[in-house]
Structure 1
Amino acid sequence: MKRSMVVVIPVLFTLSLVASGCGGSEGNTSKPTAAASDKPTTSPSQTKDSTNGSKLTLRFATWDTGDALKIEQDIAKKFEESHPNTKIQVEAYGDGFDQKLAAAIGANDAPDIMYMWDFPTYDANLEPLDDLMNNDVDLKRDDFYPGLFNYVKVDGKSYGLPAGFTTRIMYYNKKLFDQAGVPYPKEGWTWNELKESAKKLTDTSKKQYGIGIRASNDPYDLQGMIWSNGGSFISPDGKTIEGFMNGKETAEAAQLLGDLLKQKSGVVVGGKNQQSGDDIFKAGKIAMWESGIWPLDDFKKTGVDFGTVVMPSFEGKPLKGVVAESAISISKNSKYKKEAWEFVKFYASDVAIKMRTADLPVRKSVADQMKLSQDPLFQPFFKMLEASDNTPAFLLNPKWNEVNRNLTSAIDAVISGQNAKETLDLAVKDSQKFIK
């Protein structure tokens, strides 16, 4: 999953989610065009019509690197064991994923299968999967967490099969809470309770703070918080930002982050020449840290005594979350869609899901088999998934990328101490031309 949403979002990716977060940036929502200098370099065996002896070769493009890439290569080999006439050629686009994928599509040389989260950018080049998903009994669609399908749709059509995800939760350092005599946060807690706890957990003489606030925040990741206060960046029909992006509820939620810093209950992390929030949390210098699944394993390995809890809600309002999700898609121009679907389906099978460790399983049965849904550290992620039924802004308007730049600048200004309502008003003014 892309860590920034993305992801991911896989995330998303995240991919992000986000991605995120699945993680981050909402992505480039302009339609891809050919760029010769960015075209992936391929050998003759990597062309779209390639075969390996009597085998059919399917190209699979991924953004993953390192250990995650090795796992994908192992999944490909596992698939080949049960499909001896098909070879999966894993193509690692890495950090240049979007540029290389856009160049390949523009050159009519798209991979057959690809990781995906930014559906508004690529939907015209992807195969709709609704009929395949609905008619393939082997898929066991009912076993997927249903909310994940909300993140793969454009104009009501599904262009990807969910592959991995993360929601966003709050990590807390038990040692710091115990030392300050502050009760651990519990499901149902509120932002007011977080603010009070953060004050008590702060000791500036030790450079210790209640919570870490990112120097630059991806608006995608903040949507859960905004929705929880009854706000939104854009209208449900994706046509209006006035009164939404700069609405009272949206501004209140954004201002809360700035106020935590003004009150010195929080500290800015991850800026230029600053450590990341993950590292500062591991060092015991922030008591609370909001993130996805990504740092959990590292926190465990480094021996941090920590807990996880769902995000706080606003008084009298329902808790809302956002998902960083990665998915697997099929090129609209692939000559081997039937065979590609078999791999896509395998990638979301119990076997493949259990092989991957960088995200959460998209199938309820796998989460149960791995006892994740009963594990106190993992439970909050699944609780937040139940609360993640809103549609992210980037899926509602194809011009969102342009708007998102202005929104990102506005939120960064709030973190720097400026008034949320005023900066969001300016962001709306500068973004109206993209919405009309």
Structure 2
Amino acid sequence: MKKRSLFAIVPACLLGLAITACGGNETAVSIEKAETKPAEPKKEPFTLTIFTEGVKPEEFDARFRGRLEKKFPHITFQYQMSGTGATINDLVAQKKIPDIMRIDVPGMKAKYLDLGLAYGLDSLVKTSKYDLKRFEPVFIQEMVNAGRTGELYGLPVPPYFPLVLYYNKTLFDQFGVPYPKDGMSWDDIYELAKKMTRTEGGVVYRGFSASVTAMLRDNPYSLPILDPASDQLADPEKWRTLFQNLKRFYDIPNNTMEKNANEEINAFGKGKVAMMGNQHNIYLTIPPEIDWDIVSYPMLEGAPKLMGQRGPAYWAITQQSEHKEEAFQVISEMLADEVQLADSKNGIPTTLVDPEIKKALGQTHPLYSQKNMKTVHTYPPTAPTPKRKAELTDVLGRTQEAIIFEAFQKLTNNEADLNTALRQADERLKQEIALEKSKGK
């Protein structure tokens, strides 16, 4: 039976003028006191500016705006996306510095730290008793490492970008070859690539393509490009292993790499490539006519059995913000369990450790709900790539990535042997270090 309100069954006289006849004045007063709540202090309205690169306003509105406006009705949220005349450098020059920024590790030095915007969150985490153990530890540690001061400068916002292996089901069916499976090694995939690379009816079918930069950068060793402790290429022997593993696929006759990184990534979407090593990336577009699925990223013999991944972006607060406490509350709301669960159901990998949120990946998305999304969590994510010592000159992450891709491309195009390609990468890194040092003079 549904319970009725206490006040709904008390005669009106008991709550009106005749309270003394209904049991005494003391009881009535206690009821009135229980009903009286102190009014919450009125919060002064203000505008909070959130700045990002690459994430369109439509995505921000769909994922966050409604929840934020309901939770913080006194705040007007101004969302600003980087563009011509409105880069973060422009805004700093114009003294229009945002309160919250979406930063990533590769661009963090030039676009946050070097501009004097950095604000450590440690004190806000402590005073608000915010639980950092909600997050995958590798994402928290990566941000601490990237700042090179021991401070935590941001909290990880989905998505992150785990490596997986895509495959074209139509081609495997066409040639009568069993699909790839979760848990395969690179040797297994190499044998499949050889079987699937062929010429039929004058059409060349490739067995394998790749997002080469992602595969080299997000490697299972957590191997950096620039050595963390000295001005040189990190651990050339491990780079030798990574180059050799990937190059053999492009040595398969007719499995020639495209002329640049973007064309190599887009080759899979043309329907003539059987497999592709790439990130699970919600921004990756594969034409709807391609019947694809994914399996776990292949494991390399002798390397840790970990899932290579490009870490997430981070919500950060600027030193110049006049609303740091409110900004932290807003960030906390955008990273709430309910928000991340909704994200996960839409195919956006969570930055949390919660197994139920992980399990929900892609469940309500019209495309991902039909795919093998559980494979994303087959292996734990790799540890953060070691960062440069604070006293050493660093080089932008994207510059390092370009250098290592260029070295691999020269090797693949037979423009350099393995030793030469790695030596040239080492020399290019040293040139970039010298250039960075000259900027500080």
**Which of 58, 61, 66 is matched with 1:73 structurally?**
61
- More divergent stretch after superposition (161-170 vs 256-265): 256-265
Provide the residue aligned with 1:173 in structure 2: 168
Contact 1:168 1:311 in 2 (8 A): yes
Q: 1:369 & 1:424 partners in 2: Cα distance?
A: 38
Q: Determine whether 1:312 maps to 2:312.
A: no
Tell me the CA shift for residue 285 of structure 1.
Answer: 0.9
Q: Tell me the secondary structure at the aligned position of residue 158 of structure 1.
A: coil
Provide the residue aligned with 1:239 in structure 2: 230
Tell me the CA shift for residue 188 of structure 1.
Answer: 3.3
Tell me the CA shift for residue 355 of structure 1.
Answer: 5.3
Q: Determine whether 1:144 maps to 2:135.
A: yes
Q: 1:421 & 1:226 partners in 2: Cα distance?
A: 22
Q: Tell me the secondary structure at the aligned position of residue 127 of structure 1.
A: coil
- More divergent stretch after superposition (334-343 vs 72-81): 72-81
Tell me the CA shift for residue 190 of structure 1.
Answer: 1.8
Q: Tell me the secondary structure at the aligned position of residue 276 of structure 2.
A: strand
Q: Determine whether 1:249 maps to 2:238.
A: yes
List per-residue Cα deviations over 1:281-331 (Å, max 9, x = no partner). Answer: 3443111112222268855x8254333122222223323413231111100
Tell me the CA shift for residue 266 of structure 1.
Answer: 2.9
Tell me the CA shift for residue 194 of structure 1.
Answer: 1.6
Q: 2:384 & 2:420 partners in 1: Cα distance?
A: 26
Q: Tell me the secondary structure at the aligned position of residue 166 of structure 2.
A: strand
Q: Determine whether 1:131 maps to 2:123.
A: yes
Q: 1:371 & 1:403 partners in 2: Cα distance?
A: 35
- More divergent stretch after superposition (353-362 vs 343-352): 353-362
**Which of 195, 206, 209 is matched with 1:209 structurally?**
206
Tell me the CA shift for residue 238 of structure 1.
Answer: 3.8
Q: 2:98 & 2:393 partners in 1: Cα distance?
A: 23
Q: Taking structure 1 as reference, are residues 404 and 238 closer, same or farther at Cα in structure 2, changes over 3 Å only? A: farther
List per-residue Cα deviations over 1:383-435 (Å, max 9, x = no partner). Answer: 34x13113165798652225554334222322323323211112212333555
Aligned counterparts, 1:272-287, within 5 A: 277-278=265-266, 280-287=267-274
Provide the residue aligned with 1:115 in structure 2: 102
Scaled by the length of structure 2, the TM-score of the pair is 0.72
Tell me the CA shift for residue 58 of structure 1.
Answer: 0.6
Q: 2:224 & 2:72 partners in 1: Cα distance?
A: 46
Provide the residue aligned with 2:409 in structure 1: 412
Q: Taking structure 1 as reference, are residues 242 and 166 closer, same or farther at Cα in structure 2, changes over 3 Å only? A: closer
Scaled by the length of structure 1, the TM-score of the pair is 0.73
Give the number of aligned pairs: 367
Letter in 2 for 1:261: Y
- More divergent stretch after superposition (147-156 vs 179-188): 179-188
List per-residue Cα deviations over 1:155-175 (Å, max 9, x = no partner). Answer: 222111101112111111233
**Which of 181, 185, 205 is matched with 1:186 structurally?**
181
Provide the residue aligned with 2:350 in structure 1: 361
Q: Tell me the secondary structure at the aligned position of residue 157 of structure 1.
A: coil
Q: 1:333 & 1:282 partners in 2: Cα distance?
A: 45
Letter in 2 for 1:407: I
Q: Determine whether 1:389 maps to 2:404.
A: no
Provide the residue aligned with 2:425 in structure 1: 427
Tell me the CA shift for residue 382 of structure 1.
Answer: 2.5
Provide the residue aligned with 1:63 in structure 2: 53
Tell me the CA shift for residue 106 of structure 1.
Answer: 4.0
Letter in 2 for 1:191: W
Letter in 2 for 1:90: Y
Q: 1:275 & 1:89 partners in 2: Cα distance?
A: 36
Let me know the Cα RMSD of the aligned residues: 3.3
Aligned counterparts, 1:6-17, within 5 A: none
Contact 2:341 2:360 in 1 (8 A): no
Q: Taking structure 1 as reference, are residues 292 and 173 closer, same or farther at Cα in structure 2, changes over 3 Å only? A: same
Q: Taking structure 1 as reference, are residues 346 and 114 closer, same or farther at Cα in structure 2, changes over 3 Å only? A: same
Tell me the CA shift for residue 240 of structure 1.
Answer: 4.4
Q: 2:347 & 2:92 partners in 1: Cα distance?
A: 28
Q: 1:359 & 1:77 partners in 2: Cα distance?
A: 19
List per-residue Cα deviations over 1:34-78 (Å, max 9, x = no partner). Answer: xxxxxxxxxxxxxxxxxxx9521011112235xx42131342242
Contact 1:128 1:157 in 2 (8 A): yes
Q: 1:433 & 1:284 partners in 2: Cα distance?
A: 41
Please identify the structure whose Cα radius of gyration is greater: 2
Q: 1:57 & 1:251 partners in 2: Cα distance?
A: 52
Q: Taking structure 1 as reference, are residues 90 and 295 closer, same or farther at Cα in structure 2, changes over 3 Å only? A: closer
Contact 1:61 1:92 in 2 (8 A): yes
